[in-house]
Amino acid sequence: MIRTGILGAAGYTGGELIRLLLNHPEVEIVFANSESNAGNKIYEVHEGLLGDTELEFTSEMPFDQVDVVFFCFGHGKSEAFLKEHEIPANVKIIDLAQDFRIGPLHLPQGGKPQGEGYVYGLPEAYKEMIVKAHHLANPGCFATCIQLGLLPLAKAGLLTHDIAVNAITGSTGAGQKPGATTHFSWRNNNFSIYKLFTHQHLHEICQTLNELRPGTTPRVVDTLDEGFEQEGITVDFIPYRGDFARGIFCTEVITLDQPKSAEEIANLYKAYYQDAAFTHYSDKALDLKQVVNTNKALVHTEVFGRKVVVTSMIDNLLKGAVGQAVQNMNLMFNIDEKAGLNLKASAF
């Protein structure tokens, strides 16, 4: 049994992680830390756990009793936490925030990653490194979905023009704290845009695309920081707020130098993902609920002359967050990559 500890256990990702780990056949939850909820039953905070567990939140963090600890903090707090607390050297860390996603350890290096570095936890790109990882930075939800739509083309060297990305996210992507744009009266039956062309996930997306194909430099469009005539292609990302709770539905439009057939493109994707545990190519057009409440990603492609239109989609809380974190844990502990992740789709 893998002995696990959870920090930030009272938040959205903390709750979903507990829902997964309670049914994981090879995991024991040793502690679920939440200062403000210490002593309360977990089912009093997290929906759907009444009757499943009598576990309580704790204020303790007995790191000596665990094999791995999950950081379910808000962004920026993981790094701060590590400055104030010492985690024993033998305890693995899986960080769900964005604190350690950017950095040199993402490059394939052959050898075992050093203790300090964080491996970027996208199995479809870095599985060999993840298996050896001691510290892991779990990817962002948009970043996961968009990269899964682009990886096969990136590896094939076909990303040579600006990429048009449109991605719609459910409200759980905005976290637990209530606010104007998550108020039901406003968001119900509504649609809007935020962080247009400047979403922070662009950095980790471009990092991966650069590593897979260094020839051209995909970059974030940013009129504030960069001159316009800079070299490289841009990832033009429009993030939308959808009026559903779970899921990300994404289109990526890529312009090729030369037209390719629909079959050539589809075959690139099928080959790239043939061994992927949770990412599958679909021959038919997709709809979001096919992946909701699962750890799966589905991708589909259509070709119009030089234009390739990719659709990719995930559940933002699972493959876009804690599902992928558990998948990474499974890889890091050399157990079945799908253990605890054979989830029934909600479908409706």
Q: Which of residues 181-220 bind its own copies (CB under 8 A)?
A: 182-194, 196-197
Q: How far is the CB of 15 from its own copies (least distance, A)?
A: 7
- Nearest residue (CB) to its own copies, 82 versus 253: 253
Region near its own copies per CB under 8 A, out of 96-104, 138-146, 208-216, 249-257: 249-257
Q: Tokens at residue 81, please?
A: 């936490």
**DSSP secondary structure, 124-153, as one string:** HHHHHHHHH-SEEEPPPHHHHHHHHHHHHH
Q: Which of 1, 50, 80, 107 binds its own copies (CB under 8 A)?
A: 50
**Does residue number 288 form part of the binding site for its own copies (CB under 8 A)?**
yes
Q: How far apart are CA 86 and CA 127, in angstroms?
A: 28
Nearest to 236 by CA among 162, 175, 340: 162
- Nearest residue (CB) to its own copies, 108 versus 178: 178
Q: Which of residues 103-142 bind its own copies (CB under 8 A)?
A: none
For the annotated catalytic residues, the residue numbers are 141
Q: Report yes or no: 279 and 299 within 8 Å, Cβ to Cβ.
A: yes
- Nearest residue (CB) to its own copies, 209 versus 303: 303
**Does residue number 96 form part of the binding site for its own copies (CB under 8 A)?**
no
**Does residue number 249 form part of the binding site for its own copies (CB under 8 A)?**
yes
Specify which residues 239 forms β-bridges with: 167
- For residue 274, what is the enclosing H or E element? none
Q: Which of residues 51-90 bind its own copies (CB under 8 A)?
A: 51-52
Pairing of strands 297-304, 307-314: antiparallel
Q: Which of 13, 138, 294, 324 binds its own copies (CB under 8 A)?
A: 294
- CB 160: neighbour CB atoms within 10 A? 15
Q: Which of 38, 102, 131, 253 binds its own copies (CB under 8 A)?
A: 253
Which of the 8 DSSP states describes residue 283? Answer: S
**Does residue number 168 form part of the binding site for its own copies (CB under 8 A)?**
yes
